[in-house]
Structure 1
Amino acid sequence: MTLPPAVILAGGLSTRMGGGNKGLRFLAGETLLARVIARIRPQCGPLALNANGEPDQFEDYDLPVIADGFVGFAGPLAGVLAGMEWAAAQGFDHVVSVSVDTPFLPMDLVHRLNDAKGRSGLALAASPDREGVLRDHPTCALWPVGLHDDLRAALESGLHRIGQFAAAYQPGRAVFESRPIDPFMNLNTPDDLAYAAHYL
């Protein structure tokens, strides 16, 4: 099986983390970006980074840097669109997205997303919360690049909720255990970083 390409979504403003590029924050001696690369690279084909601003700040990571195709901050959906267009230009029909603030990604994420594809070819990662309620993690997903026109139209109409867009295409779900730690835990604040460092 040809491994699909993947894009790491790192185009956010990181306001709750104090600004700057969240992926370059350190967790137990390694940047979040380095930890996500180590997790996703063995599972995928070509790998790219979706980030805005100066690409030179990522030169040590040896990844193509693709920016959002929208003016201003359009959220993770704009990063998914950039990833779709990058993957399509290389002849791929799917692309995996992961978030730069999820350093505990499962090592079988891509395999299980591929097995879980819904009717449209879309699959989302999911895990139960502390109450056992299943939660989708649409930034960690397998996307058919054929949706790029629909996604661009949705963004142009003002839709920025990634879960809302995904839900319209009957996605499949790859469900992962959330113990001892949720593998899709987002590190959004300095307190989250401290908690993750304590866990490590």
Structure 2
Amino acid sequence: MTEPVPPTSIPGVLLAGGLARRMGGGDKPIRMIGGRTLLQRVISRLAPQCSRLILNANGDPARFAAYGLTVVRDGVAGFPGPLAGILAGLDWVAAQMPESPWMLSAAADCPFLPRDLVARLAGARATEGAALALAESGGQTHPVIGLWPVSLREDLRHALVAEDIRKVTRFTARYQVARVSWPVLPFDPFFNANTAADLAEAERLAAQDD
């Protein structure tokens, strides 16, 4: 067992760097459900749990100005996927918050994230002495929702740049991972909106959640 880290001392990066091809392009996190954007809902869930939130997004950062978050772009060219966003977050934390050895990553299109996400991930990682922690529900791992050591960033950079690794689970398989499971009833807290149909379902779930 390693010493637990107070969850609220952990910064978080919200991953919004994707191209949203299944939704016809554009920024998924600023789609509306229940009168608020997906990103607003993610921020409201995670702001009480994290010391600071930043947003990983490519393109013009001004389109997110209303949210009051620092926007960091991928440092690896070519839209290589969420690992590049996680690396961008780790690099930012290392430079701007060197006192923070850990970082949460979460998808910016998951509007119903657990209110105990950071505490449970941090607790499980410490209890198991694991290198990192990932969320699960319904027997499925959610690899972009996890707790990462900032010290892992050079290994991650090498994997992305030198080894062309794109799949998150291919990278995390190299390490001891604590997996933390949440129930899927009354609904999966890691539901994410990838399609127009998903947005309609999210609208229905928001009515239950608000």
TM-score by length of 1: 0.94
Contact persistence 1:81–1:152 (CA under 8 A): yes
Cα separation, 1, equivalents of 2:202 and 2:37: 13
1:167 aligns with 2:167: no
Q: Which amino acid aligns with 1:39?
A: R
Q: Which amino acid aligns with 2:145?
A: C
1:116 aligns with 2:141: no
| 1:131 alignment partner in structure 2 | none
Alignment equivalent of 2:46, drawn from 32, 35, 40? 40
SS of 1:151's equivalent?
Answer: helix
| 1:101 alignment partner in structure 2 | 109
SS of 1:59's equivalent?
Answer: helix
Cα separation, 2, equivalents of 1:177 and 1:150: 33
| Aligned-pair CA distance for 1:163 | 1.6
| Structure 1 range deviating more: 43-52 or 160-169 | 160-169
Cα separation, 2, equivalents of 1:167 and 1:184: 21
Q: Which amino acid aligns with 2:123?
A: D
1:66 aligns with 2:75: no
Cα separation, 1, equivalents of 2:77 and 2:176: 29
| 2:140 alignment partner in structure 1 | 135
TM-score by length of 2: 0.90
| 2:33 alignment partner in structure 1 | 27
Cα separation, 1, equivalents of 2:173 and 2:121: 16
Cα separation, 2, equivalents of 1:107 and 1:198: 20
Cα separation, 2, equivalents of 1:185 and 1:37: 15
SS of 1:43's equivalent?
Answer: coil
Q: How many correspondences in the alignment?
A: 195
Give a deviation string over 1:17-52, Cα, whole Å, max 9, x none.
Answer: 110111111111111110100000000001100000
| Aligned-pair CA distance for 1:180 | 1.1
1:149 aligns with 2:159: no
Cα separation, 2, equivalents of 1:34 and 1:163: 28
Which runs of 5 or more residues in structure 2 are unaligned? 1-5
| 2:90 alignment partner in structure 1 | 84
Tell me the C-alpha RMSD between the 2 structures.
1.0
SS of 1:53's equivalent?
Answer: coil
Q: Which amino acid aligns with 1:127?
A: S
| 1:17 alignment partner in structure 2 | 23
Cα separation, 2, equivalents of 1:116 and 1:82: 25
| Aligned-pair CA distance for 1:63 | 0.5
| Aligned-pair CA distance for 1:120 | 4.2
Q: Which amino acid aligns with 1:126?
A: E
| Structure 1 range deviating more: 47-56 or 112-121 | 112-121
| Aligned-pair CA distance for 1:167 | 2.1
Question: What percentage of aligned pairs have identical amino acids?
Answer: 50
Q: Which amino acid aligns with 2:131?
A: G
